[in-house]
Structures are given as structure tokens and as C-alpha cells.
């Protein structure tokens, strides 16, 4: 008879994600994960597999949350350029209060040699690029984004600007500087 999970999987993933995000994969011990999640080692192993499996599940949990934020920013926009701007601005409060930066970028620097992690990150990067490319294409078709470059080239620009903005926000907390970064990067599209 299969075991029934008696815990909230999302809460456990959130706790594990926060722990990995704070310490990184290498520096996070199983005891820290036990303490953070409230589950014993055997429950963690039985439910998620080994530490790397739990890390991957935590990373997917993080990316799902990020995707929900992207979707909310897009849905609140009157046009595609505003949607792109909303995506940047939606992360301002997090950047101002949290010095950890983006979990996926931390993962890229710490675990880029792991083939399965690299494939996951490449896939999520491509999904982000496709999202930005569609927004740019729609914006070009509606006239709110110029056609000086292809939608793919602008998608790469926006993606790179977003990644750089998130990295800059690790140390820079001045809202005027951060807003200036956003506005300057997105002015290329106008």
C-alpha cells in the first residue's frame, strides 16, 4: 500500500527552497533541511529522493512562483511594453528587501556543471525568452515597440537586462537607481 503524505508538499518545498536559496546547494546540510521542513530524514528521502532531487524540486517550485509573478505582471498590463515594464517593476520590492538575488542565477554559478541542472536552467531560460519574444512581437505588431531589431534579438536584450537588474539589486538598493536601470534598458524598445 503506497504511503500517504501527511504534510503539505508546497510548504515543505517552500521551506527547502528558502534554505537552499539562503545557503546554496553545497553549503546546505540535510540537518538544515530537516530543521527547516520539520520532516525527518527518512520522510525527506522517501518523499523527494536525495538532496539533489529535493534541490531540483525546490528549484522548480521557485521557477513556478516566478512564472506566476510573470503571468500576473502580463495580465495587469494594457499593452506588451507595459507588461515587460511590469515584470521588472514587480521585482523591485523583493530586490530592495532581499540580498540573495535570483535563486536560478545562484544555481547557474554554483551547479552549472551538473548536466540535469544545466538542462533545466536552459529550458527555463528558453521559456523566458519565448515569453519576452512573444511580448515584443505583439508590441511590434501593435506599434508600442519599434522594429529596429527582431523580436528574438529584443527578447535576448530584455532577458539579459532582467538578469543584470536582478544581479545589480543584490548590492544596489536605491530605488531611483534601480528604476533608472529599468527605464534605460527598456527605452531601447520604444
How many domains, the chain?
A: 1
Domain range for 180 is 60-187
Q: What pLDDT score was predicted for residue 18?
A: 94
Q: Which tens digit of pLDDT belongs to each residue from 69-87? A: 999 999 999 999 999 999 9
Q: What pTM does this model have? A: 0.87
Q: Which three cell numbers stand for residue 19?
A: 534554505
Segment among 77-86, 98-107, 154-163 with least mean pLDDT: 98-107
pLDDT of 6 higher than 90: no
Give CA–CA dist 18/81, Å, rounded.
32
Give CA–CA dist 133/66, Å, rounded.
17
Indicate whether 166 belongs to any domain. yes
- Listing DSSP states for 116-167 in one string gives HHHHHHHHHHHHHHHHHHHHHHHHHHHTSS--SS-HHHHHHHHHHHHHHHHH
CATH of residue 174 = 1.10.357.10
Indicate whether 26 belongs to any domain. no
Indicate whether 75 belongs to any domain. yes
Amino acid at each position: 500500500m503506497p504511503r500517504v503524505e501527511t504534510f503539505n508538499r508546497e510548504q515543505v518545498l517552500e521551506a527547502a527552497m528558502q534554505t537552499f536559496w539562503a545557503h546554496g546547494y553545497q553549503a546546505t546540510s540535510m540537518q538544515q533541511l530537516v530543521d527547516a521542513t520539520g520532516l525527518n530524514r527518512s520522510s525527506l528521502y522517501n518523499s523527494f529522493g536525495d538532496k539533489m532531487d529535493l534541490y531540483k524540486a525546490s528549484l522548480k517550485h521557485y521557477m513556478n512562483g516566478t512564472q506566476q509573478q510573470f503571468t500576473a505582471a502580463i495580465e495587469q498590463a494594457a499593452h506588451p511594453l507595459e507588461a515587460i515594464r511590469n515584470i521588472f517593476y514587480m521585482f523591485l520590492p523583493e530586490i530592495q528587501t532581499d540580498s540573495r538575488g535570483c535563486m536560478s542565477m545562484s544555481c547557474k554559478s554554483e551547479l552549472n556543471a551538473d548536466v540535469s541542472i544545466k538542462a533545466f536552467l536552459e529550458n527555463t531560460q528558453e521559456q523566458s525568452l519565448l515569453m519576452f519574444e512573444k511580448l515584443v512581437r505583439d508590441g511590434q505588431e501593435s506599434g508600442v515597440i519599434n522594429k529596429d531589431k527582431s523580436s528574438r534579438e529584443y527578447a535576448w536584450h530584455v532577458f539579459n537586462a532582467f538578469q543584470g537588474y536582478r544581479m545589480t539589486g543584490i548590492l544596489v538598493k536605491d530605488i531611483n537607481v534601480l528604476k533608472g536601470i529599468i527605464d534605460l534598458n527598456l527605452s531601447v524598445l520604444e
